[in-house]
Chain A
Amino acid sequence: MTRALSKHDPAKKWSGPTRPYDLIKEFVIALVVVAILAGGLAAVFSSPDDPALTLKSWSTADPADFVQTSVGELAGTTTSAGYGAPYNTAAEGQVLGPLKLQKWAGVRIPINPAKDFVISPLLILPDAAVKQAVNEWNVATADAQTKWATAYADALAKSPKSTSLDDAAGAYGPVPTITTALLNMAQTGALDGALTTSDTPLPTNFTKPMLFIADSGTYFPDLASAQHLSGDQWGVMNETGSWPGQSWLWLFSFFYQVEPFKSSENADTQVMSLLGLLTLLLMFLPLIPLLRRIPYRIPIHRLIWRDWYRRKKA
């Protein structure tokens, strides 16, 4: 028996001492214990369910932020407007050294924020003044559109609580009429429907309304920050309230907290690539000389197989 203990080749079928082991019984007991544990935890701690944001709830709760964001879409200054692939060609996107990874697949989800989020939804409104304003916008040159929207955005920035400003100097063109109509439309809930059903009457794709909401200057990020969900709050692995989130993403979240990733313009590409590399290291750890020796150097296996080693010693 001592010989079998010390000389066994781990690749060969075990021929040493055995013990009865009921795998099916072990599984059934594990299933019952897990069911009781999960059932108890669910009964005591429940689960979070903060209501989803809509364009209606955003425009009602913070109309000024909604209008400023809408003007930003027209001026081309929002995140979506300057995003790049896969939505548009406004930016190069993130790179990894010489690799322009963000651009490689091209524009596969075309989004024109000014047209898709602001102008097109207004076409369903019957209001003559709105139709005239939209028409004036559509026939204007790109320079004129940018000039109007930028001037209005600058004016709103000086009056951050306002949702509409008078245009005594005629510098804003049709922009105030357009954004006021969009605000009214959003507050009725009609804009949510217009954006989710613009491609198909069965809404399953929320790319347009969510990109619009994500462009929010303050409302959306402030709500997330209050729920400790921002990137600098380890938000990748957090959940609303005090519930555990995706804690298994802790390493992913960790890299966003430290330099050089924290302040990098290409943080996403760098962190995703690093995680990919670490995953490969974990996967092929048995083939990596130094790493595969760690369990030999730190003998925690002595604790796991303590009975076995005790008998071997005896």
Chain B
Amino acid sequence: MSKPKMWTTRVREATLEKYEPTDILPDTQPAYVASWIYVFGVATIACFVMLVATGLWLSFEGPAWWHTSSVGHYANSLHLWSVELFFVFMVVHLWGKFWMAAWRGKRTSTWVTGVIAFMASIITGFTGYLIQGNFDSQWIATQAKDGFNAMGIGAYFNPLNTGQAMLIHVALMPLVLGGIVVWHVILVRKRGVVPPIEAGADE
């Protein structure tokens, strides 16, 4: 009777030993990976990095800073335009993957994690709009509360509670979204980039 495997052994076997270094950071791709559509996934991640960087800048200076300082206002503008670009690139990436039927070849979980990342991004963007500390955030909060309250969610997530929205936006959602994105990218690396649709070999 063999000895039970240590947890550490199991984790190592389930993660590190499953991948070759060239699986994680390959320097070649299949010849069909030759389209501008492939740029939008990495561009979305680049925007996420910009959002974390500008978000940290805003966090260190405090929530009132950008209302009173021209440098702070520029930092806020950088954060805003990074999120606009983030969503544009993410939506183009999503549509590209849809038309490529990129879920083929046991890649359903890659598609599902992508959609979860999209939803997490919407929650992150929404909580960001709630904590602007201006007229727009007040109006959004008073209107959104009706939607959340109607579903019974408002009893736990109250858009009028700025402190709650700020903690969710700054402390929770970047970790959640970052984790999902890492998971999504690992799945892409694991399965490889989906090949072109070929009659008879796709189902």
Contacts and interface: CB of A to CB of B under 8 A. Distances in A.
B150 A269 contact: yes
Contact of A295 (B100, B136, B150, B151): B100
Contacts of A246: 122, 125-126, 129
A19 B82 CA distance: 31
B96 A10 contact: no
Interface of A: 5-14, 16-24, 26-27, 30-31, 33-35, 37-39, 41-43, 45-53, 83, 85-86, 93-94, 101-106, 108-109, 204-207, 210-211, 213-214, 220, 223-224, 227, 229, 231, 235-236, 239-240, 243-249, 266, 268-269, 271-273, 279, 282-287, 292, 294-296, 298-301, 304-305, 307-309
Contacts of A295: 98-101, 197
Contact of A279 (B115, B121, B134, B194): B115
Contact of A284 (B42, B112, B138, B202): B112
Given A19-B30, A38-B81, 8 more contacts: A17-B30, A27-B45, A53-B135, A86-B154, A205-B164, A223-B135, A283-B112, A305-B197
B35 interface: yes
Contacts of A83: 149
Contact of A46 (B39, B77, B155): B77
B46 interface: yes
Interface string B129-165: 1001111111101110011011110111010111110
Interface stretch (B8-16, B84-92, B172-180): B84-92
B151 A102 contact: yes
B33 interface: yes
15 contacts: A10-B201, A11-B105, A21-B28, A30-B45, A38-B82, A41-B84, A48-B134, A49-B134, A227-B136, A235-B143, A266-B150, A272-B150, A296-B101, A299-B197, A305-B32
A265 B42 CA distance: 44
Interface string B14-25: 000000000001
B39 to A, nearest CB: 7
- Which are the 5 A-B pairs with shortest beta-carbon distances? A204-B163, A10-B105, A286-B103, A105-B155, A42-B77
Contact of B141 (A93, A102, A106, A210): A210
A26 B39 contact: yes
A282 B200 CA distance: 25
B151 A101 contact: yes
B31 interface: yes
Contacts of B49: 31
A224 B139 contact: yes
Given A14-B192, A26-B39, A105-B156, A19 B129 contact: no
Contacts of A294: 98
